[in-house]
């Protein structure tokens, strides 16, 4: 099959670090291994064509020609994101139709993020994967329901409804969207396989090899519960004088300042034992995950996060939050731990419980964690995705 992916991000672009970009890369490589023909159509700064390990990648300039001018008008500026989504969807789908006329696209998979299916090509069967839900994101970031935000919610929902089939990696997000739009959502977990390329251990050796540390990585913002972790970081560092906290990922900010500045302020006199290492590529990231005593991901809402999958695959004990989709991966006290959402006391007690484990229990739980992620091997998950594509095609053309 010729399978197109329409997306606002991919690993070939400057925003390569996102979970969506890495998911698409794994799926595309899995499809290629099964002798299908994946094609990526990605929003970019300029038009172009490249190949990513045998995957054709079509870059589509998604910046509207009138965007800079209209952004100077205060009333229009508030709607700038919505206008950008609309234009981006139009251009991406225009490219899809161009390719379809030349080489016939059997099916297209849209990313829900930024409403890429607003102008879906009616002549090409489609699925949309819920990588995020704008309404949930806004609630997690405590954003006001302004007219501009409500417009984004509408575009997000309209885009999802446009697809022939909806899929989601987590049951949590699937059930939420089902209740909201009244359409069935298929749950299909994300594929994962530990990369087999060489690792770069130098940053770990230089910065962390002599330290005991708790690691938090991914997006560093309110949605991911970093403010909740900040509330207890001083007490934990006081109780465990040899412990460090390490943060990796994009700083999403907090109340007008950087999130890391807030964390350092809350750490107080212990701030020297709180390290921020920015964004790192996977070859540098994985040795740092492997070296951690624990991985703490206190999200307020999530969607089967790659961060949890990556850490568990490496045999690390992860502390996640109950009711934020981690329970789909973590069986409490068996292959990791679950604490209450946005509850700093519950998080503190869970961290202390994990730090008190003996070496044998740590190893056993780590093995259990890695075994759970074995179920996400691409050769299994991608075959399930292909089966879903075939179902959509059968239903589309047999009506």
Q: What DSSP string runs through 210-224?
A: T-EEEEEES-BSTTT
Superfamily grouping for domain 2-191+377-397: Glycogen Phosphorylase B; (3.40.50.2000)
Q: What is the mean pLDDT of residues 64-68?
A: 71
Please give the pLDDT value at position 233.
99
The model's confidence at residue 394, banded by pLDDT at 50, 70 and 90, is very high
Please give the pLDDT value at position 98.
98
Helix (H, G, I), strand (E, B) or coil at 199: coil
pLDDT tens digits, one per residue of 326-375: 999 999 999 999 999 999 999 999 999 999 999 999 999 999 999 999 99
CATH of domain 202-374: 3.40.50.2000
Please give the pLDDT value at position 15.
66
Please give the pLDDT value at position 75.
62
Please give the pLDDT value at position 14.
84
Burial of 156 (0-12, 13-18, 19+ CB in 10 A): buried
Please give the pLDDT value at position 19.
83
Domain with CATH 3.40.50.2000 in the chain: 2-191+377-397, 202-374
pLDDT tens digits, one per residue of 223-244: 999 999 999 999 999 999 999 9
Residue 325 — φ and ψ, nearest 5°?
Answer: 90, -10
Q: Which candidate, 22, 370, 8, places its Cα nearest to that of 218?
A: 22
pLDDT tens digits, one per residue of 263-296: 999 999 999 999 999 999 889 999 999 999 999 9
Mean model confidence pLDDT for the chain? 93
The model's confidence at residue 70, banded by pLDDT at 50, 70 and 90, is low
Say how far apart CA 1 and CA 32 lie, in whole Å. 10
């Amino acid at each position: 099959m010729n399978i197109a992916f329409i997306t606002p991000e991919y690993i070939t672009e400057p925003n390569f670090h996102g979970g969506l970009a890495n998911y698409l890369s794994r799926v595309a490589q899995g499809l290629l291994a099964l002798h299908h023909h994946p094609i990526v159509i990605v929003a970019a700064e300029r038009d172009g064509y490249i190949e990513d390990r045998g995957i054709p990648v079509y870059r589509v300039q998604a910046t509207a020609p009138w965007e800079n001018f209209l952004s100077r008008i205060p009333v229009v500026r508030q709607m700038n994101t919505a206008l950008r989504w609309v234009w981006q969807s139009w251009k991406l789908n225009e490219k899809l139709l161009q390719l379809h006329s030349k080489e016939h696209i059997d099916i297209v998979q849209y990313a829900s993020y930024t409403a890429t299916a607003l102008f879906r090509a009616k002549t090409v069967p489609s699925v949309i994967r819920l990588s995020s839900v704008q309404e949930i994101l806004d609630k997690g970031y405590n954003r006001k329901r302004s007219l501009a935000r409500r417009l984004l919610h509408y575009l997000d929902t309209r885009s999802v409804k446009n697809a022939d089939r909806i899929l989601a990696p987590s049951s949590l997000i699937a059930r939420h969207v089902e209740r909201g739009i009244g359409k069935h959502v298929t749950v299909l977990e994300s594929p994962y396989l530990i990369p087999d390329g060489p690792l770069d251990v130098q940053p770990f050796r230089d910065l962390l090899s002599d330290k005991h540390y708790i690691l938090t990585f991914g997006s560093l913002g309110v949605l991911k519960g970093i403010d909740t972790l900040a509330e207890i970081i001083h007490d934990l560092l006081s109780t465990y004088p040899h412990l460090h906290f390490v943060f990796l990922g994009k700083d999403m900010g907090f109340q007008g300042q950087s999130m890391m500045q807030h964390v350092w302020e809350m750490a107080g006199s212990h701030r020297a034992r709180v390290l921020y290492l920015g964004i790192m590529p996977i070859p540098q990231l994985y040795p740092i995950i492997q070296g951690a005593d624990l991985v703490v991901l206190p999200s307020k809402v999530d969607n089967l996060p790659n961060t949890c999958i990556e850490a568990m695959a490496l045999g690390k004990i992860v502390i996640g939050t109950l009711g934020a989709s981690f329970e789909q991966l973590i069986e409490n006290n068996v292959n990791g731990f679950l604490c209450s959402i946005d509850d700093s006391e519950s998080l503190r007690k869970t961290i202390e419980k994990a730090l008190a484990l003996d070496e044998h229990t740590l190893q056993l739980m780590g093995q259990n964690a890695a075994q759970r992620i074995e179920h996400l091997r691409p050769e299994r998950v991608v075959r399930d995705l292909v089966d879903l594509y075939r179902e959509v095609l059968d239903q589309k053309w047999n009506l």
